[in-house]
């Protein structure tokens, strides 16, 4: 059977070749959500309410993260995830991208950042995806 490059076949081939890109971004967002909630990784839920998690299992030290992707742009989210204190002086949010060298940091963590660049990028992708629902314009 001869294969013909019909427009439908070409469109299908194009759709298949583009798919990995979309899957990769979705997978990155899912990865970010998992890393944020994971006590062995971001553990963000000890201070923040994470959308999609039980409200009783969440911290209230920081603002709830629902809708944060509408409030803050990517550059701000990246800066926060690298060194929250550089952006918000005096913040108690951990400096996830800065090597830990303080005397009380346990030996195994000395000189290590809490999260790797790829882990931080995944969390930023997840934060960016947390858009606020569009509000109807109030009357008056």
Binding site for ligand HEC (CB under 6 A): 36, 42-44, 46-48, 61-63, 65, 68, 71-72, 77, 80, 84, 88, 91-94, 96, 123, 127
- 110 close to 101: Cβ distance less than 8 angstroms: yes
Phi-psi region of 136 (alpha: psi -120 to 50; beta: other; left: phi over 0): beta
SS3 state of residue 134: coil
d(CA 96, CA 91): 12
Distance of CA 89 to the CA centre of its chain: 22
Nearer to ligand HEC, 80 or 125 (CB): 80
Nearer to ligand HEC, 19 or 73 (CB): 73
d(CA 33, CA 38): 9
Q: How far is the CB of 26 from ligand HEC (least distance, A)?
A: 18
Q: Helix-strand-coil percent breakdown of the chain, rounded to 5?
A: 50, 0, 50
Nearer to ligand HEC, 61 or 108 (CB): 61
Q: How far is the CB of 92 from ligand HEC (least distance, A)?
A: 5
Q: How far is the CB of 7 from ligand HEC (least distance, A)?
A: 45
Q: How far is the CB of 12 from ligand HEC (least distance, A)?
A: 39
Nearer to ligand HEC, 36 or 125 (CB): 36
């Amino acid at each position: 059977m001869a294969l013909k490059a019909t427009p439908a076949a070409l469109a299908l081939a194009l759709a298949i070749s583009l798919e990995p890109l979309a899957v990769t971004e979705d997978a990155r967002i899912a990865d970010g959500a998992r890393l944020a909630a994971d006590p062995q990784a971001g553990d963000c839920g000890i201070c923040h309410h994470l959308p999609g998690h039980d409200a009783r299992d969440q911290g209230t030290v920081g603002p709830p993260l629902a809708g944060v992707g509408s409030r803050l742009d990517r550059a701000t989210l990246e800066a926060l995830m690298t060194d929250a204190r550089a952006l918000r002086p005096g913040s108690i949010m951990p400096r996830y991208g800065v090597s830990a060298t303080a005397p009380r940091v346990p030996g195994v963590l000395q000189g290590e950042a809490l999260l790797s660049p790829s882990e931080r990028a995944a969390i930023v992708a997840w934060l960016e995806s947390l858009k606020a629902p569009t509000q109807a314009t109030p009357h008056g």
